[in-house]
Chain A
Amino acid sequence: MTFQPTPTQIARIKAAVFVACLMPLALLALRAWRDQLGANPIEYITRATGWWTLTFLMITLTVTPARRLLSMPWLLRLRRMLGLFAFFYASLHFTTYIWLDQFFDFSDIVKDVVKRPFITVGFTAFVLLIPLAATSTNAMVKRLGARRWQWLHRAVYVIGTLGVIHFLWLVKKDIREPLVYALVLAVLLGARLVFRWRERARTKAPTVRANSHPARAGIGPS
């Protein structure tokens, strides 16, 4: 038996998740307040916000496999919020780079984005997140139609991949941490492929059976 919350319970869960999602920011702010960001605070903030962006992307991508494997369809109700938090931390990460790191030196920023592959992919991932955040409301789902909306939001697979590449390309030598993200992403995307194959097999199987039925297929010995 799996847990199926009532609407009130869902509202409470959502509120709790919302607060939990703000904890990384709260902890970062607390560390800043206590002067515990180390010798290079800007680097620390950049790393922390980047790390949380990737983590929230992975959590968001976990919703679909989790709700199917655990038979907890209501988990879907949390996905939008988690995805928006990924965008929220990505915005903080991007702002840190533009403001604290480069201090609005736009000629240098443009050079960076064009010349440095790890910044190019990170920037691309961020830009691709914007339309997803903008079309996250119920009204936008309606306006676009479920099919087109879903097609657009599959961009998150690309975004997750670019995010991992961004991390992989920026480290000097020790790639263990980005590899962990790569592995998690591979499992999450792989799960979707497995689901698809199974679905295809399931939908195909009856058709095959139907077609093979002599009367319906219209073929066979007469």
Chain B
Amino acid sequence: MLIRRSTDIIPSEITPRALFEDRRAFLRDAGLFAAGLAVTGLGARAVQAQGKPFAGARKSPLSVAEAATPFKDVTTYNNFYEFGTGKDDPAERAGTLKPRPWTISVEGECAKPKRWDIDELMKLAAVEERIYRLRCVEGWSMVIPWNGFPLSELVKRAEPNSKAKYVEFVTLSDEKQMPGVRLPVLDWPYVEGLRMDEAMHPLALLTFGLYGDLLPNQNGAPVRIVVPWKYGFKSAKSIVRIRFTETEPKTAWNKAIPSEYGFYSNVNPQVDHPRWSQAKERRIGEFGKRATLMFNGYGEQVASLYAGMDLKKYY
């Protein structure tokens, strides 16, 4: 596994806040101007380009060459129980989530815990475009162009110590912003977790956007992880805390129904969910079902993480 050394940012390279805010004001004004152009039908393309912060993101070689699921489907068919248990609930109800200002606390077994401001975190490394398959434990799948950088970039900066065996991800749980947490469907806040080597894997993505734009609220704004070789629920959304732990984190779905949702939850067509088969999946937008691939098709990259493990036992 090749892990690139982090390049430390020289203080002189950090944009001063005033300048940064100035630039925002400029962009806003420019936006108004461009909108004016758009009305006259001249600047539609300009508006589109400047509205999408990751439009020019470097295309990652780790992307799959499969047709991406339409933006509309990606943003209207979601599981995000903090906004309700229906698939269309998040798109309808996530408007109350305020993704700015937002801080992410990195803590636990590490030398350099830190409270990150979201906009500061976004500049930690170069944001790339990664087109990943997403396989939901319910038997459907999508292909989504995410925007983010490897989670390892953040983990390395925290300098986890020798006790840090796992990484825990905690989602915001705020009744005022998330109507779904009023119901005890899951034990809020939503907690997910990865083993340290999983978190350090180059495919594990710290994600800020999709389709070149900032994450829509219903997709886990302002920051989430994407772990493409695991079932979708492992990829925690709207993260407020990342904690290094010595013991395996108590994850939300595992706590809810331990016999159905294990800690690992790697995509595995040979291990059925106790109530339904995982051998096939319906790709959103397609009519027939397709065969589900081991590790969601990322076996070549990740199978070595689980060498010698009984995946029927560690489901």
Interface residues, chain A, with chain B CB atoms under 8 Å away? 38-40, 42-43, 100, 102-103, 108, 111-112, 115-118, 169-170, 172-174
Q: How far is the CA of A66 from the CA of B275 in the complex (A)?
A: 37
Knowing A38-B87, A116-B276, A118-B275 touch, does A173 contact B77 (C-beta < 8 A)?
no
> What 1/0 mask marks residues of chain B from 118 to 139 whose CB sits below 8 Å from any chain A CB?
0000000000000000000010
Q: Is the interface of B mostly helix, strand, loop or mixed?
A: loop
Q: How far is the CA of A174 from the CA of B79 in the complex (A)?
A: 12
Chain B residues with CB under 8 Å of A174's CB are 81, 85, 183, 185
Chain A residues with CB under 8 Å of B259's CB are none
Q: In the complex, given contacts A38-B76, A115-B277, what are 4 additional A-B residue pairs having Cβ atoms less than 8 angstroms apart?
A: A39-B284, A39-B285, A102-B289, A116-B275
Interface residues, chain B, with chain A CB atoms under 8 Å away? 69, 72-73, 76-77, 81, 85, 87-88, 138, 140, 183, 185-186, 256-257, 275-277, 280, 282, 284-285, 287-289
B87 and A40: CB pair below 8 A? Answer: yes
Which residue of B76, B186, B276 is within 8 Å of A39 (Cβ)? B76
Q: Is the interface of A mostly helix, strand, loop or mixed?
A: helix
Which residue of A42, A100, A117 is within 8 Å of B275 (Cβ)? A117
A170 and B275: CB pair below 8 A? Answer: yes
A40 and B282: CB pair below 8 A? Answer: yes
Which residue of B76, B88, B257, B275 is within 8 Å of A169 (Cβ)? B275
Q: How far is the CA of A10 from the CA of B282 in the complex (A)?
A: 47
Could you list some 17 contacts between A and B, CB below 8 A?
A38-B76, A38-B77, A38-B87, A38-B88, A39-B76, A39-B77, A40-B282, A42-B287, A102-B289, A108-B277, A115-B277, A118-B275, A169-B275, A170-B275, A172-B85, A174-B81, A174-B183
Chain A residues with CB under 8 Å of B138's CB are 172
Which residue of B140, B186, B276, B280 is within 8 Å of A40 (Cβ)? B140
A173 and B282: CB pair below 8 A? Answer: no
Q: How far is the CA of A126 from the CA of B81 in the complex (A)?
A: 32
Chain A's nearest CB lies how many Å from the CB of B94? Answer: 16
Chain B's nearest CB lies how many Å from the CB of A100? Answer: 8
